[in-house]
């Protein structure tokens, strides 16, 4: 039996819903369910590896990576900019930044033009860790995508981009 014939948890829950006489799930249920499941599984795997190798997790990597890739070399971002890029609440971001600051991976600074403004940047150790974590993250991703041909990956990425744009309207 190849993967096309196997049922996943989304299929099983859809089948149960039908068996209970509740009818088929709404349009898009399987699509969103699978996107959420893939994300949860990937975050779980990556967080386990990040914890073992770096004493960190995916949430912390997301902050490091957002600052690293969201700025030019050695620049800082405001908490609002980071939260907006990550689609994250301010309290959740504050918790992550506090943990990263305690580990010496990020720093808080005051804006030069407006001293009320808080800026967050990466320490040299934070930059190094962001790069190392990215290598692990990318490697894990490539390993998990081996079951899809390059053309399938490109097609799926294009369809998901289209879907993201629909949600961002």
Helix (H, G, I), strand (E, B) or coil at 108: strand
Question: How far apart (Å, rounded) are the C-alpha atoms in residues 133 and 139?
Answer: 10
Residue 1 has pLDDT above 60, yes or no: no
Q: Is the dihedral of CA 135, 140, 141, 147 positive or negative?
A: positive
Tens-digit pLDDT profile for residues 21-74: 877 767 788 888 889 999 999 999 999 999 999 999 999 999 999 999 887 667
Give helix 124-144 / helix 58-70 axis angle, nearest 10°. Answer: 110
Regarding pTM above 0.85, the answer is no
3-state SS of 25-77 is CCCCHHHHHHHHHHHHHHHHHHHHHHHHHHCCCHHHHHHHHHHHHHCCCCCCE
Average pLDDT, the chain: 89
All domains of the chain, ordered by start, with CATH? 3-167 (1.10.10.10)
Distance (Å, rounded) from C-alpha 116 to C-alpha 122?
A: 20
What pLDDT band is residue 16 in, cutting at 50, 70 and 90?
A: confident
Give 126's strand partners.
Answer: none
């Amino acid at each position: 039996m190849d993967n096309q014939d196997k049922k996943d948890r989304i299929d099983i829950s859809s089948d149960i819903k039908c068996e209970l006489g509740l009818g088929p799930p709404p349009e898009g249920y399987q699509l969103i369910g699978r996107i959420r499941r893939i994300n949860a599984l990937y975050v779980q795997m990556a967080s386990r590896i990040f914890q073992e190798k770096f004493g960190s997790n995916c949430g912390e990597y997301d902050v490091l990576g957002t600052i690293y890739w969201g700025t030019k070399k050695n620049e800082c971002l405001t908490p609002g900019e980071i939260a907006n890029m990550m689609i994250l609440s301010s309290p959740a971001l504050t918790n992550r930044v506090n943990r990263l600051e305690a580990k010496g991976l990020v720093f808080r600074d005051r804006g030069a033009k407006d001293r009320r403004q808080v800026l967050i940047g990466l320490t040299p150790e934070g930059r190094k860790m962001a790069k190392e974590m990215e290598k692990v993250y990318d490697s894990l991703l490539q390993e998990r995508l081996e079951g899809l041909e390059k053309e399938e990956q490109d097609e799926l990425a294009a369809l998901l981009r289209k879907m993201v744009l629909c949600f961002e309207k």
